[in-house]
């Protein structure tokens, strides 16, 4: 599939509540290219699957956690880091316009948070699904 068609598919997939930043669009294209390499049948990210990942509970150090442990179930609300007790700004770009605007930050926090909750780095498809979910909120 050529890059133009892939770009159109990604941009068409953003039928969410908030227009994604240029940085997010670029990162989502990167993730989509990676996902397509690993799974030639991959078509697009799915916000519902992203929600399932975000809410999925794991046992880590004897405690049940998920992404909601720190980020809350309401992405428009402030969260609280369960280890450091630092306040986390809302994840939802509709509430926090600076959210999902810096690719370096997105990569850093997705890697760190997947490792904290799942004890592994997320796949490109998982990261894209979670970003699609966050963007939808």
The model's pTM is: 0.85
Look at residue 102 and give its three-state secondary structure.
Answer: coil
Q: Which residues are within 8 A (CB) of 123 and not within 5 positions of it... i.e. 6 or more apart? A: 35, 38
pLDDT at position 17 is 55
Q: Distance (Å, rounded) from C-alpha 113 to C-alpha 71?
A: 11
CATH code for position 24: 1.10.760.10
Running along the chain, 137 residues long, what does each successive block of 10 average in pLDDT?
Answer: 45 55 93 96 96 97 95 97 95 93 95 96 97 93
Q: Are strands 58-60 and 87-88 parallel, antiparallel or unpaired?
A: unpaired
pLDDT at position 18 is 64
pLDDT at position 111 is 97
Q: How many domains does the chain have?
A: 1
pLDDT at position 13 is 45
Range of the domain at 23: 3-136
């Amino acid at each position: 599939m050529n890059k133009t068609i892939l770009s159109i598919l990604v941009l068409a997939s953003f039928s969410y509540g908030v227009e994604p930043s240029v940085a997010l669009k670029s990162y989502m294209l990167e993730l989509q290219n990676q996902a397509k390499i690993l799974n030639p049948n991959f078509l697009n990210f799915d916000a519902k699957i992203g929600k399932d990942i975000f809410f999925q509970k794991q046992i880590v150090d004897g405690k049940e956690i998920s992404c909601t442990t720190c980020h809350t179930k309401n992405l428009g609300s402030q969260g609280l880091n369960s280890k450091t007790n630092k306040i986390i700004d809302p994840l939802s770009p509709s509430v926090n316009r600076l959210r999902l605007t810096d690719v370096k930050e997105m990569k850093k926090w997705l890697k760190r948070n997947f490792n904290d909750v799942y004890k592994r780095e997320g796949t490109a498809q998982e990261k894209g699904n979670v970003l699609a979910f966050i963007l939808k909120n």
